Chain A
Amino acid sequence: MKPSEDLVARLDADSAEWVAALTGTAAERSRGEARLHEHLLQVALRELRRRRATAPWLAGVELEDLAYQAAADAMLAILRKLETFRGESRFTTWAYKFAILEVSVKRGRHYWRLHPHVSLDAEAWELLPDRFGVDPGEHAQRAEMVRAVRDAVDQTLTDHQRRLFTAIVLEAMPPDAVAERLGTNRNAIYKSLYDARRKIRAYLVANGYLEREGTGRP
């Protein structure tokens, strides 16, 4: 489908060229899609390599496979949504976003292939103090933190919120991996955890473990 004249007039030259290539004749589209796929693959590969800093289990041939999968699915999403491109950014910035988001999805799925026996319900409370930097030798402070936060979780969270909090905070599972396992999405996970954080903090303030003032935000 041809883009509107209004859209073409708004675009920078490079973006207009991309849109023309992806909405032209069959031969033009084929060449445009091949060129875009190459860009998406490079973006996905670089992003997966960049993320090895926080996910060292991403490596080798599997990393390349994930990049190809992310690029292919990003391409499908771009072609499906091409009509929604309004020129609010350069075309490549808009298109690369799909590759980056697909990398996140693929990494979430890949987590479970490498960690098939990890449980969402392990509740390893002994890990909580480490998550917030309590010295291993500070036994009283570690026990106090576990007691306070566990009480808050017991008293205020739903079963679903508790499951998310313990998996993501105690077990440090990637939220995208948790979303994949529960058949939901990142936004739903975030909103549930957002409410859980708010409730836990209110409980800890009410019970004197945290101060009322000071949000902790910079």
Chain B
Amino acid sequence: MNHRERLDHFLATDPADVGCAEALEVLHVYVELIADGREAARAYPGVAAHLAACGPCGEDFEGLLAAVTQP
């Protein structure tokens, strides 16, 4: 990916993106689907779109997944 593609990747917006509030509202459900090996992104495509685009929410997702999956 060259620098223009990286810029384009950053600027691109997904209309399915539900935003932080809605994503965080169901984050525990989404994380548990992932932890159980189920297709969370299919059940919550707008949440998946958001977590892919929002760094802070993506970090919260990674953190909660680690909290419930690591011994």
Contacts and interface: CB of A to CB of B under 8 A. Distances in A.
A93 B32 contact: yes
A194 B12 CA distance: 9
Contacts of A197: 10-13
Question: Which 8 A-B pairs have CB atoms at the shortest separation, nearest pair first?
Answer: A216-B9, A216-B8, A201-B11, A187-B20, A216-B12, A215-B12, A187-B21, A89-B32
Interface residues of A, number: 49
Interface string A132-144: 1110000001000
Contacts of B20: 185-187, 190
Given A47-B63, A133-B6, A201 B68 contact: no
Contacts of B19: 187, 190-191, 194
A214 interface: yes
Interface string A96-112: 11011101100000000
A93 B28 contact: yes
Interface of B: 3-14, 17, 19-21, 24, 26-29, 31-32, 35, 52, 54-57, 59-60, 62-64, 66-68, 70
A92 B70 CA distance: 13
A217 B27 CA distance: 22
A47 B11 contact: no
Contact of B8 (A43, A186, A198, A201): A201
Interface in A193-218: 194, 197-198, 200-201, 204, 209-211, 214-218
A96 B9 contact: no
B24 A217 contact: no
Contacts of B54: 190
Contacts of A174: 56
B10 A132 contact: yes
A160 interface: no
A201 B66 CA distance: 35
Interface of A: 43, 46-47, 50-51, 54, 88-90, 92-94, 96-97, 99-101, 103-104, 129, 132-134, 141, 145, 149, 169, 174-176, 185-187, 190-191, 194, 197-198, 200-201, 204, 209-211, 214-218
Given A43-B67, A198-B13, A134 B32 contact: no
Contact of B13 (A187, A194, A214): A194
Q: Which of A90, A141, A194 has the most CB of B within 10 A?
A: A194
13 contacts: A54-B59, A89-B32, A93-B28, A93-B68, A97-B28, A97-B64, A132-B7, A190-B54, A194-B17, A204-B11, A210-B8, A211-B8, A216-B8
A92 B54 CA distance: 25
A216 B11 contact: yes
